[in-house]
Structure 1
Amino acid sequence: MAARSPSLLLGLLLAVTGCRAGCVEVDSHTEAVLGDPFKLLCISCKRRSETTAEALTEWFFREEGTQGFDKILRYEPEGPVVVADGRFEGVLVWNGSRGTRDLQDLSVLLTNVSARHAGDYVCRVERNLTFEGYVYSLALNKTIRLAVVSKATRDMASIVSEIMMYVLIVVLTVWLAAEMLYCYRKVAAAAEAPAPENASEYLAITSESKENCTGVQVAE
């Protein structure tokens, strides 16, 4: 959605500590715009990259105002994508990992969001990890509560980030102007001062002026 870049960048930076072998678990956005496409993001990282694994995923949905979850999609690497709910026929498509049996990106895409797509989604991953002599199975659920709006709204993180950017620009501009004014006054004062009596005094004045203005020249 609009103006998501700052919040997305912050989320990525916070998630780096949980990264394994290039996989980063990032939470999905939770606000979709009516009539636009929307990606339901579901990332499940394998903790040990050297371990052989196979995975499959199922997605479930509970529409707002209803009870219970319905299965809407099933995906496994060597099988077709199965959309199991008529409300999502022609709308819900697979948008995750391809060409591997070890699924870590389990995301799906709503190509055209409607009001009835608002509600709770559950991304379920079932993974078999193969160790020496045995297979360990585990399952994990991730829940996403999706709201559908008529127009994109900006989140607080993006607004604060933009305000801080403008404040920083103003502060740096004022600081640079003050440094330039200070340097100008020092040079003017040196030009108006009586001529030095010897070469060593002249060199000392010149050296002082250069040192005071070095910061301004670098900033420019």
Structure 2
Amino acid sequence: MFVSRKAGVSLRRRPVVRTPSMETHGRLVLHLLLLFIFAVVEVRLVCVDVPSDGEAIVGKVKKLTCIYCMKREEILATTKVEWFYKGQDKNKTRTLIYLYDGEPQEPKDVDEQWKGRVTWTGSKDMQDVSISILNVTLNDTGTYECEVTRFFEFDSFKLSANKNIRINLKVNMRASADITALYSEIMMYVLLVFLTFWLLVEMVYCYRKISKSDEQAQDTAY
């Protein structure tokens, strides 16, 4: 059988413009959701042992950071925390200024200097056992010690672990310039911009890959 071709009429197949189907959109949303969940998991809170800053300003609130990270099997441990202070006079002994034993509390015989001025700023999981000093004065200059004791009780024996963190605090009338802190802040913003750009690139890449895969599947079907 012969097919005649009329003059001026082209039998060339026209390109078919296909739009992504509902299935493609569904797969795209699913992939982007998984990517978002992955990004959130990667930035989850992690216990980091950060040293406390050794400078305070008169009249401000000063947080004394004390971190004692726990392994997963240690979460059920009982924790006791004692905060001590020793002034600049080497002849003086250290004094207990705050205590955590079942609950945060001020020692009964605490010195008048610390009454009502120390607050608990630790976390519920007892990995952060920090305190804060209210209305800092020049007399607060000195050495602070954070003593943490964890008690573990197993079927046949008991075990305890200790950690001691010492903080040398200097109280100034005014804040001094901290170049290291400024550099760290700049690097944090740079890292944030980079991670945001990387996430956008991944989203575009996933979209193009899924769209191309769907078009190939439709071409095969035709």
- TM-score, structure 1 length as denominator? 0.57
For 2:59 and 2:140, the matched residues in 1 are separated by 11
1:22 aligns with 2:46: yes
Amino acid at match of 2:140: H
1:152 aligns with 2:172: no
| Secondary structure of the corresponding residue to residue 81 of structure 2 | strand
1:82 aligns with 2:107: yes
Amino acid at match of 1:120: T
For 2:129 and 2:116, the matched residues in 1 are separated by 19
Tell me the residue number matched to 2:94. Answer: 69
Q: Which runs of 4+ in 1 moved over 4 A?
A: 159-165
Structure label with greater radius of gyration = 2
For 1:90 and 1:81, the matched residues in 2 are separated by 8
1:110 aligns with 2:133: yes
Q: Is the 8 A contact 1:127 1:138 kept in 2?
A: yes
| Secondary structure of the corresponding residue to residue 59 of structure 2 | coil
1:95 aligns with 2:95: no
For structure 1, the residue ranges without an aligned partner over 5 or more in a row are 1-20, 169-220
For 2:65 and 2:186, the matched residues in 1 are separated by 28
1:160: how far off? 4.9
Q: Is the 8 A contact 1:28 1:41 kept in 2?
A: yes
Amino acid at match of 1:71: L
Backbone CA RMSD of aligned residues: 2.6
- TM-score, structure 2 length as denominator? 0.57
Tell me the residue number matched to 2:163. Answer: 140
Taking structure 1 as reference, are residues 54 and 33 closer, same or farther at Cα in structure 2, changes over 3 Å only? same
- How big is each residue's C-alpha offset from its partner over 1:136-194, in whole Å with a ceiling of 9 and x where there is no partner? 112211000000011111223135568999xx9xxxxxxxxxxxxxxxxxxxxxxxxxx
Identity percentage over the alignment? 35
For 1:85 and 1:152, the matched residues in 2 are separated by 28
Q: Is the 8 A contact 1:73 1:85 kept in 2?
A: no
For structure 2, the residue ranges without an aligned partner over 5 or more in a row are 1-44, 191-222
